[in-house]
Amino acid sequence: MNTIFKTLAATALAVASTVGAAQAEGERYVLVSHAPDSDSWWNTIKNGLALGCEQMDVECEYRNPPTGDLADMARIIEQAAASGPDGIITTLADPDVLSGPIRNAVESGIDVIIINSGTPDEAREIGALMYVGQPEYDAGFAAGQRAAGDGIESFLCVNHYIAQPASTQRCQGFADGLGVELGNQMVDSGQDPSEIQNRVMAYLNANPDTDAVLTLGPTSADPTILALDQMGLAGDIYFGTFDLGGDIVGAIRDGVIEWGIDQQPFLQAYLPVVVLTNYHRFGVLPGNNINSGPGFVTADALDLVAELAGEYR
């Protein structure tokens, strides 16, 4: 663990020790995500949850729908609430599907923090304590403005989780940042790596004048790296992505990917545990929501990120 995290851990442990002497322990928190089992990006979320719970000396559990089905996620939230935890940390991947179960949990007296998906306004509307995450449209818009400054006018957005509205918000924000229509520049790639690779190649073969490719995380970025390499376009076509992972970091270093948008998933799980524990033990709560991103990771500052990618970044 690097120096920053060692310092953070030591500080949190000291706080936890003081808390243990002054307050009863035994808080229990459940984090419910929308991620399918196949999405390795969420390992960083799990690491943040585990470290936060260890340091604050609380019991925690991670739950998710194995296939990413949001109706299944809604049932998991209901089950988590029925188990009577002190708090639920959850994503708001689709307000139409998830707002009801989350609002019911709040009304039953369970404190909720929304992370990752959704917006601060949506979190407030359903009664959550706060929001910790990256507003997805804003992140996409910032990426689009950055790409526009680099001369980009057209793109392919590889959407591997089109059932989640936040994914489309990323693509739409990018298009708006460029000042162009999204139209058919977004494709539903699915989550199978071979299918993603084939669909990227098919689109670029049919649209050879495409200036750029935007992917929404390692699930779509990793096969796209392979597709561009097979087509002889690696390093020649403008390529940006959301989120980080080992292959993404390597592609940034090699000049294949221009930038990765880091929403700092570690903080999205770690901070809610700290916030909830201090709220339940001392009644203190930050006055504002926490934007964990976006931050652009480029080849200019890659060493520390590369060391921690997939674990804490």
User: Residues 9, 14, 20, CA angle at the centre, nearest 5°?
Assistant: 120
Encode pLDDT of 255-283 as tens digits.
999 999 999 999 999 999 999 999 999 99
Query: Is 136-262 the same fold as 3-134+264-293?
Result: yes
Encode pLDDT of 55-89 as tens digits.
999 999 999 999 999 999 999 999 999 999 999 99
Distances (CA, A) of 66 to 69, 167, 264, 281: 8, 19, 23, 33
Domain 136-262 - what CATH class? alpha beta
Instruction: Count the neighbouring beta carbons within 10 Å of the beta carbon of residue 116.
Output: 25
pLDDT of residue 23: 47
Domain 3-134+264-293, classified CATH 3.40.50.300, yes or no: no
Q: Percent of the chain having pLDDT more than 70?
A: 92
Say if residue 16's pLDDT is above 90. no
Distance CA(145)–CA(174), nearest Å, equals 8
Encode pLDDT of 139-193 as tens digits.
999 999 999 999 999 999 999 988 778 899 999 999 999 999 999 999 999 999 9
Q: What residue spans define the domains of the chain?
A: 3-134+264-293, 136-262
